[in-house]
Amino acid sequence: MELIWKKEYKSIKQFNPIELPQFTILTGVNGSGKTQLCEAINNDFIGIRGYKSPEIIFYNYSSFKVTFSEAAQTRNLIQEKKSAFIQYDGMKKNITSSPNYKLEVEIKRSEENFRKGIDYIILKTGKKLNELIELDFLDFYQTEDKTIFSQLEKIFKDYHIKFEKNKIQRFYEEGNKIPKEKRRGLIDEEFFVKYGEKPWNLVEKILKKFSDFDYEISNPEGTDIDEGFRLTFKSSIQSGVNITSEDLSSGEKTLLALVVSLYSSEAKREFPKVLLLDEIDASLHPSMTQKTLELLHDIFVIKKEMKVLITTHSPSTIAFACTSSLGKPRFHR
């Protein structure tokens, strides 16, 4: 992968294009620019030739941090989506009042999650930027969450809301003998085509590929549509043992984060092209470090043909890494 300088970011100054291996592990002392490089790529201050920002996923150690947040709530999810539409609609209305106003430019200036959320709506609907309506946001806008576990809770609950509301709509239309051509409710096959398969099923399939994760994850099926959802994990080894995300080991959290990346990609039917991982191995046991590197190389790099860039301080990661993958950042003037 070829790094292209666009503009200065913190201590990273202008540099000539740099070619890195498809699987790169950057090491170095504190202040050498490892984390800043990942941030600069993620924020489009540094580009990767041939790849766009939505094709890049960035995780750092805080992404795996467990927080004691509220369970995913129906009202909160819907309100976040509506708020995003109101922000978009306000931007769109400015077009008529200002002849020099460009919606595309204003969207690009917006915060990252809002910008990427709109990119995803356009991807799913096939509409142009100025054609989006509130229903598109309710269907496809992805609400912001910085932690992996809260992100999964929201993904699961959001799908559950849509699935249950569709069932209610279909029941109403069938009971009232609404003509088929006027029905909005989808049969299950149509629903799966539009929204994908149940996310908890897809995550379980991915987890089964990894022998190191010995848990089954919970899902909101069978709960009330207005009931909050909390992600828990059922041991596949010890009968009757259930734990929360707070109880997972560092290695299990890291593995689950990679699974979320895989899920997110497969659910969108478009795998990301670049994965940036900033010191996610900070508290991994050496055996888990080796397994993580193997998973990244075998599944992400070889099978999915992704570019992977890891930053690390860990002697274990350096020891297990292929020599050709190792490097030190030199982006300072």
pLDDT in tens, 267-323: 554 557 888 988 877 767 777 777 778 878 887 788 778 899 999 888 888 888 877
Number of residues in the chain: 333
CA nearest neighbour of 231 among 223, 280, 76: 223
Q: Specify the range with the lowest mean pLDDT, choosing from 29-38, 74-83, 146-155, 317-326.
A: 146-155
**Dist. CA 55–CA 305, nearest whole Å:** 13
Mean pLDDT, residues 132-159 taken together: 81
Please tell me the predicted confidence (pLDDT) of residue 269. 46
What CATH topology corresponds to 2-66+253-327?
Rossmann fold (3.40.50)
pLDDT computed for residue 202 by the predictor: 80
Average pLDDT over residues 99-127: 85
* Gap between the terminal Cα atoms of the chain: 22
Using an 8 Å Cβ cutoff, are 252 and 213 in contact? Answer: yes
pLDDT at residue 147, as a whole number: 64
191, exposed or middle or buried, with CB in 10 Å at 0-12, 13-18, 19+? middle
Contacts of residue 169, Cβ cutoff 8 Å, sequence gap at least 6: 184, 185
Mean pLDDT of 46-68: 74
pLDDT at 190 over 90: yes
Q: Higher-confidence residue: 67 or 229?
A: 229
Please report which confidence band the pLDDT of residue 173 belongs to, taking 50, 70 and 90 as the band edges.
Answer: very high
The pLDDT of residue 309: 92
Q: What pLDDT score does 154 carry?
A: 83
On the question of pLDDT at 68 being above 50, the answer is no
Identify which of 7-16, 30-39, 143-152, 229-238 has the greatest average pLDDT. Answer: 7-16
Those residues whose C-beta lies under 8 Å from the C-beta of residue 138, and which sit 6 or more positions away, are 78, 81, 82, 85
- Mean pLDDT in residue range 22-39: 85
Residue with more model confidence, 246 or 321: 321
pLDDT band at 46 (very low <50, low <70, confident <90, very high): very high
Query: Which residues touch 65 (CB under 8 Å, ≥6 apart)?
Result: 147
SS (H, E, C) the chain: CEEEECCCECCECCCCCEECCCEEEEECCCCCCHHHHHHHHHCCCEEECCCCHHHEEEEEHHHHCCCCCCCECHHHHHHHHHHHHHHHHHHHHHHHHCCCCCHHHHHHHCCHHHHHHHHHHHHHHCCCHHHCCHHHHHHHCCCCCCCHHHHHHHHHHHHHHHHHHHHHHHHHHHHCCCCHHHCCCCCHHHHHHHHCCCHHHHHHHHHCCCCCCCEEECCCCCCCCCCCECCEEEECCCCCCEEEHHHCCHHHHHHHHHHHHHHHHHHCCCCCCEEEEECCCCCCCHHHHHHHHHHHHHHHHHHCCCEEEEEECCHHHHHHCCHHHEECCCCCC
Pairing of strands 232-235, 215-217: antiparallel
Q: 33-43 in b/e burial notation, b at 16+ Cβ within 10 A?
A: bbbbbbbbbbe
pLDDT of residue 48: 93
pLDDT digits (tens, 9 = 90+) for 156-167: 998 999 999 999
pLDDT at 333: 44
Whether the CB-CB separation of 143 and 80 falls below 8 Å is answered with yes
Domain positions in the chain are 2-66+253-327, 74-140, 148-247
Give the percent of the chain with pLDDT over 90. 26
Percent of the chain, pLDDT > 70? Answer: 83
pTM attached to this predicted model: 0.60
| Tokens found for residue 34 | 């490892």
* pLDDT the model gives residue 131: 93
Mean pLDDT, the chain, as a whole number?
82
Position 163 scores a pLDDT of 95
| 15-29, 104-118, 120-134, 287-301, range with the lowest pLDDT | 287-301
Mean pLDDT of the 137-163 span = 81
